[in-house]
Structure 1
Amino acid sequence: MQQDPIIQMRDVSFTYAGAPAPSLEHVTLGVGAGEFVGVVGPSGAGKSTLAAAMSGAIPHHFSGELYGATLVCGRDTCESSLTDISRVVGSVLQDIDAQMVSSVVEDEMLFGLENFGVPHDEIPGRVEEALSTVGAAALRHREISTLSGGQKQKVAIAAILALRPRALVLDEPTAALDPASSELVFETLRRVREREGIAVVVIEQKVALLAEHCDRVVVMSGGRVELDGAPREVFAHAAELRAMGVDSPRVARVTNSLVEKGLLAPGTPPSLTVAEAHDAVAALLAPKKPGGASAASGLRPAPGRSPHVPASRPHAEGAEPVVRLEGVGFSYAGTGDGVSGVDMSVYPGELVGVIGQNGAGKTTLTKLLNGLLRPAAGRVLMAGMDTRTTPISTLAREVSTLFQNPDRQLCKNTVIDEVAFGPELHGVAREEALARAGRVVERFGLPADESPFVLSRGQRQMVALASVVVMEPRVVLLDEPTAGLDYRECMTVMDTVRELAERGCAVVMVCHDMEVVSDFAERVLVMADGRVVGRGPTDEVFAQGDLLARASLRAPEVARLSAALAADVDARLGGRTQVGDLVDAIGEMVRNG
């Protein structure tokens, strides 16, 4: 801990008013000038509460029992006004819509600057600099209602950066961002802290980003700090992290697995980047490949398929797609944004991923599929129904949607009533609806009698998905289904989605998490600028670097590591997309050396 931390928490415990248990317990933590601290943990671990304490929202906004002290620049937050705290600690909330106060991006930027009394001659430069820093200069005059979730996130970060605080606390800032934008946010935060000495605290589930960019990683569970150290130290505790519901970077899992199998020396630290893992494996195999070519024999070919995903199967003769788009086009009035020339077919039992950068048209595509938008050109057929002529209520009997923000789908006072609401709305008797809801709630491990609104965001996301699953639809549309979920919840959700597909449901999943897409999608569509620019089996698409770059995407870590090893070490290491498969292949090469 630094001698003079900007933020210092001393034995802090906090219980929200009316809550049965504390959300923070005896937390002692310091953040110094220029530090880049990542916070990770399962849903409900207390991460958002930690952010609220650091930013002064506790005690000034949230009521409850507070013990200990949080100091900002040496002053107790209980003795400082929220305005004074905000001049030092800028915060970006998990719910971006709740943070927006204006209807136009430029006005959003001006709001904080004018309220904090920034001299008028400085304001234009600050607005321009902040928007450019996060790659959102082109959005300056856009209406916020027309922005994608990721674009709103960029604007929120820019508005805080324009105030030039001494510390930034960000709660899941990349949850709605594509991979390139997520990397941009972290690079932006790193530049800001290096240039200005700003302390940065980022609550994040994308552990690969934390591993690559942060000085420290803090792991929380049950309201407590369980681990606090350099990324390499923290991610060496893979088994402990997994038990808590926290993932490790895939490349760290590769080197950790090689240590567990005795292929790397005990105590070898985990790799944090693809380059580090490549060098570790290349050094391991160097003696095995005289003359630069591997002498391994009997190495099985790359399967090119995740164990989560069934091998592609031919469609039954004469089978009709349950989702069909033919030359579909749509544009929003005043912006010209939308989609054009989209052709797409999805058959029963398929899980198809839709990937692309923020603003590529993915969410618009989802709204065209569920009938919320009607195509201006072409036609959309869902379960044989033309969305231009079919009422949304009729479509909803066969097509269920999980939106980006779960709070827009929740309306009941208990989880069980929320999940039963859909079947009841469509005429299922209440007793049967509750029975169906109970089975799904139990499958998801949700608290049946609690209010959805007191749950963590990840848990609310699971409630919303449970409300989709219980409908037993023919088509499920998922718009960022794993955003904000911890590793355990992510696997629970996606295993459930996979089971839906196995039972014959067609699943269309918009997703920015390339690891999830790689693990579960049978094939993918790549979108850019409102068009489908590529499509095919998932592993084949992830091997096309030029295509991914066009869509501001990056292949998952294991796919990139596999490709690098195939190019530099042995071609037979190519085409691997899963940690276990790559580790097994390396082990075979060592044994057969």
Structure 2
Amino acid sequence: MESSTPIISVDDVSFSYGSDSAPRALDHVSLNIAAGDFLGIIGPSGAGKSTLTSVLSGAIPHHFGGAFYGAAHVAGQDTCTITLTDVARSVGSVLQDIDAQMVASVVEDELLFGLENFGVNHSEIPARIERTLELVGIADLRDREIATLSGGQKQKVAIAAILALEPAVLVLDEPTAALDPASSTMVFDILRDVNERLGVTVVIVEQKVALLSEYCRRIAVMDKGRIVLEGTPAEVFSHAAELRAIGVDSPRVTRISNSLAREGVIEPGAPCLNVAQAQELIAGVVESAGAGRANPVAGASAVGSAPSAPTPARPPHRPARPKAEGAEPVVQLRNVSFAYPTGEAAVQDVDITVYPGELVGVVGQNGAGKTTVTKLITGLLKPSTGTVTVAGLDTSTVRTSQIARHAATLFQDPDRQICRDTVLDEVAFGLELAGIDVSEARRRAQPVIERFGLPAHEAPFSLSRGQRQMVALASVVVLEPEVIILDEPTSGLDYRECMTVMETVSDMAEAGSAVIMVCHDMEVVSDFAERLVVMAGGRVLGRGETHTLFADTELMQAASMEPPQVIELSHALATSVSPTFEGAFEVADVVARTKELIARG
């Protein structure tokens, strides 16, 4: 239950890394967080979100040096006058870089480490560990080596290790960036549970606006080191145009209700924040016009069957790309199986074929085998059975360096592929390895850097997580490879960066590159991928046209996946209001069909 007493108070805080002359990461920030609050923080990359979480956790000023002005109080104590350990007794933090936070090799030991360091009575420790593992849903991982876990599983372990300490405040920096939609929802369910049942104050930096709108009581929007907007989710997301201008997205159903209000179909008011609200709103306006029916209409197609309304044309940025006559596959996996020495994360009997110019999404839960597939394609792993061919090369019989001449990879963690001192040097490095002269490599790198809006002469590791992701992608794009493998390319990116990245990737597919994209953002996949490969348990459950598979309820359930909001909404409306809505895959489709039905009435 939320209290009116602030458990955290940030009073006119400004902070610069290094010295007074450095740019301000925070610029006169004031923020009160009441005990029991559930606050979401959102903003474009470089807005100061992670810096603010460092202030809330005491890492600033105790761990990160710089020029600090103003005051931050936690549980009534000034963070500048108490130790970082004292702050940590009240505030638990889950960092953006999970690997940097892990200290043990086994999951149980990770939880044990914090409990012993904080002096928890040994008689209490077993019960705390048991309770926390069950709470986070990872009891089955108790004896697993952390090195064998997927990124999403590591994230859950990190949250569990902090919750075991029973902090009053939990501060999380993009905890679901590496998680699939179902796991992301589960994390937010856990956070809501500890917030409501245990009274833990939750502060979360997150780019997944649909989750923020559903779970948070308040949202603070940051831009250029300042808090520029604060309020309830409905209040914040009613400012869609202002949010878009600074690089912040809105939930797709919010876009729909805002568009209907802007076009005069409904009265201006609080926007929809979830599918149920959007369904109720549209059903009401359509039925009041006499054009809809409350019950399913004969002929309304079931999800996964042929739509009764014509499928709309692809959006302008993702036109259908017919395969060239007689084109050979550039990537082919035939009856491929692979198992790690531990027996974990195996793939079995995988068949995938990708042609030049295609953009194929590989989707599924954490641990489904998606990243293993990408490693098999790049030759980092060799199949136990079956064959993998890339640009005509059998990956089992050629060196990885030979495959790299045809296929470039963007890893899930950009920091694992950044190794040079400046952005320009980093982006040019791959060309140099391919034998291009240094000056020519830099000349080719410059326009790519400009396209991504990156500072050419700054050190990559001085940039935000999202900007480092774009540096890593720029180093892939500049190579103009035949095959591009993207493992979570939009992780940690703000809306503007996400669109820049995906438009660039789409353009490369237009130019003939085959793009294979592992992605947990179903909205991005729906917007840009032409075909899907749906995986679960190391197997391919389905493959086909993107929107057709997303509309297949049984397939989505089997893969423990959630379809994009618009597809979920359109089917709900087709079965409860009018079959006209079936096959509406874009925000504009739902708005247009709503107006069409009203006009008919």
Tell me the TM-score normalised to structure 2 length: 0.96
Instruction: Name 1:310's counterpart in structure 2.
Output: 319
Q: Does 2:540 match 1:539?
A: no
Instruction: Name 1:11's counterpart in structure 2.
Output: 12
Q: 1:592 deviation in Å?
A: 3.1
One-letter identity of the residue aligned with 2:320? A
SS at match of 1:477: strand
Instruction: Name 2:257's counterpart in structure 1.
Output: 255
Question: For the Cα contact (< 8 Å) 2:369–2:536, is it kept in 1?
Answer: yes
SS at match of 1:14: strand
Q: Distance in 2 between matches of 1:170 and 1:440?
A: 33
Which range moved further: 99-108 or 205-214?
99-108
One-letter identity of the residue aligned with 1:12? V
Instruction: Name 1:339's counterpart in structure 2.
Output: 347
Q: Does 2:355 match 1:355?
A: no
Q: Distance in 2 between matches of 1:548 and 1:3?
A: 42
Which range moved further: 520-529 or 136-145?
136-145
Equivalent of residue 572 in structure 1, options 559, 580, 585:
580
Q: Distance in 1 between matches of 2:72 and 2:4?
A: 15
Write out per-residue CA displacement over residues 174-199 of structure 1, whole angstroms, 9 at most, x where no aligned residue: 00000010000001000001111110
Q: Distance in 1 between matches of 2:245 and 2:592?
A: 23
Instruction: Name 2:179's counterpart in structure 1.
Output: 177
Instruction: Name 2:151's counterpart in structure 1.
Output: 149
Q: Distance in 2 between matches of 1:222 and 1:580?
A: 31
SS at match of 1:62: coil
Q: 1:306 deviation in Å?
A: 4.0
Q: CA RMSD in A?
A: 1.4
Equivalent of residue 405 in structure 2, options 386, 389, 397:
397
Q: Distance in 2 between matches of 1:348 and 1:120?
A: 60
Question: For the Cα contact (< 8 Å) 2:286–2:292, is it kept in 1?
Answer: no
Instruction: Name 2:525's counterpart in structure 1.
Output: 517
Q: Distance in 2 between matches of 1:204 and 1:334?
A: 33
Q: Distance in 1 between matches of 2:85 and 2:53?
A: 16
Q: Does 2:464 match 1:463?
A: no
Identity over aligned residues, as a percent? Answer: 61
Please give the residue correspondences for 1:18-29 in structure 2 after superposition, counting only pairs within 5 Å: 18=19, 20-29=22-31
Instruction: Name 2:276's counterpart in structure 1.
Output: 275
Q: Does 2:511 match 1:503?
A: yes
Instruction: Name 2:305's counterpart in structure 1.
Output: none
Q: Distance in 2 between matches of 1:51 and 1:12?
A: 12
Q: 1:20 deviation in Å?
A: 2.6
Q: Distance in 2 between matches of 1:291 and 1:481?
A: 41
SS at match of 1:319: coil
SS at match of 1:26: strand
Q: 1:3 deviation in Å?
A: 4.0
Q: Does 2:289 match 1:288?
A: yes
Q: Does 2:560 match 1:552?
A: yes
Q: 1:218 deviation in Å?
A: 0.4
Q: 1:288 deviation in Å?
A: 3.0
Instruction: Name 2:70's counterpart in structure 1.
Output: 68
Kindly tell me: are residues 312 and 427 of structure 1, through their superposed partners in 2, closer, same or farther at Cα, counting changes over 3 Å?
Answer: closer
Write out per-residue CA displacement over residues 114-171 of structure 1, whole angstroms, 9 at most, x where no aligned residue: 1111111221221122122222111111111111111100000010011100000000
One-letter identity of the residue aligned with 1:421? F
One-letter identity of the residue aligned with 1:269? A
Question: For the Cα contact (< 8 Å) 1:2–1:30, is it kept in 2?
Answer: no
Q: Distance in 1 between matches of 2:494 and 2:233?
A: 18
Q: Does 2:452 match 1:450?
A: no
Q: 1:16 deviation in Å?
A: 0.5
Q: Does 2:139 match 1:137?
A: yes
Q: 1:418 deviation in Å?
A: 0.3
Write out per-residue CA displacement over residues 280-307 of structure 1, whole angstroms, 9 at most, x where no aligned residue: 101110133368289xxxx973416444
Question: For the Cα contact (< 8 Å) 1:348–1:506, is it kept in 2?
Answer: yes
Write out per-residue CA displacement over residues 358-400 of structure 1, whole angstroms, 9 at most, x where no aligned residue: 0111111111111111111111100111111111111111100
SS at match of 1:6: strand
Q: Distance in 2 between matches of 1:373 and 1:330?
A: 8
One-letter identity of the residue aligned with 1:283? G
One-letter identity of the residue aligned with 1:465? L
Instruction: Name 1:33's counterpart in structure 2.
Output: 35
Which range moved further: 281-290 or 402-411?
281-290
Please give the residue correspondences for 1:55-454 in structure 2 after superposition, counting only pairs within 5 Å: 55-266=57-268, 268-289=269-290, 292=293, 301-303=310-312, 305-311=314-320, 313=322, 315-454=323-462
Q: 1:252 deviation in Å?
A: 0.5
Q: Distance in 1 between matches of 2:451 and 2:92?
A: 39
Q: Distance in 1 between matches of 2:580 and 2:292?
A: 16
Question: For the Cα contact (< 8 Å) 1:305–1:577, is it kept in 2?
Answer: no
Question: For the Cα contact (< 8 Å) 2:410–2:472, is it kept in 1?
Answer: yes
One-letter identity of the residue aligned with 1:284? V
Which range moved further: 118-127 or 23-32?
118-127
Equivalent of residue 590 in structure 2, options 577, 582, 588:
582
Kindly tell me: are residues 76 and 461 of structure 1, through their superposed partners in 2, closer, same or farther at Cα, counting changes over 3 Å?
Answer: same
One-letter identity of the residue aligned with 2:281? A
Which range moved further: 15-24 or 59-68?
15-24
Q: Distance in 2 between matches of 1:30 and 1:228?
A: 11
Q: Distance in 2 between matches of 1:131 and 1:327?
A: 37
Q: Distance in 1 between matches of 2:417 and 2:596?
A: 49
SS at match of 1:208: helix
Question: For the Cα contact (< 8 Å) 2:292–2:578, is it kept in 1?
Answer: no
Which range moved further: 165-174 or 390-399?
390-399
Question: For the Cα contact (< 8 Å) 2:283–2:292, is it kept in 1?
Answer: no
Runs of 4+ residues over 4 Å off in structure 1 = none
SS at match of 2:356: coil
SS at match of 1:325: strand
Q: Distance in 2 between matches of 1:287 and 1:102?
A: 61
Gaps of 5+ in 1: none
One-letter identity of the residue aligned with 1:456? S
Question: For the Cα contact (< 8 Å) 2:3–2:36, is it kept in 1?
Answer: no
Question: For the Cα contact (< 8 Å) 1:183–1:209, is it kept in 2?
Answer: yes
SS at match of 1:78: coil
Kindly tell me: are residues 567 and 300 of structure 1, through their superposed partners in 2, closer, same or farther at Cα, counting changes over 3 Å?
Answer: closer
SS at match of 1:79: coil
Q: Distance in 2 between matches of 1:160 and 1:545?
A: 36
SS at match of 2:24: coil
Q: 1:201 deviation in Å?
A: 0.2
Q: Distance in 1 between matches of 2:376 and 2:563?
A: 27
Question: For the Cα contact (< 8 Å) 1:165–1:198, is it kept in 2?
Answer: yes
Question: For the Cα contact (< 8 Å) 2:309–2:579, is it kept in 1?
Answer: no
Tell me the TM-score normalised to structure 1 length: 0.97
Which range moved further: 580-589 or 483-492?
580-589
One-letter identity of the residue aligned with 2:76? G
Q: 1:308 deviation in Å?
A: 3.0
Q: Distance in 2 between matches of 1:206 and 1:402?
A: 21
Q: What is the aligned length? A: 587
SS at match of 2:6: coil
Q: Distance in 1 between matches of 2:291 and 2:582?
A: 19
Write out per-residue CA displacement over residues 43-73 of structure 1, whole angstroms, 9 at most, x where no aligned residue: 0000000000000000110000000000000
Kindly tell me: are residues 258 and 373 of structure 1, through their superposed partners in 2, closer, same or farther at Cα, counting changes over 3 Å?
Answer: same
SS at match of 1:283: helix
One-letter identity of the residue aligned with 1:440? V
Q: Distance in 2 between matches of 1:325 and 1:163?
A: 46
Q: Does 2:475 match 1:474?
A: no
Instruction: Name 2:569's counterpart in structure 1.
Output: 561
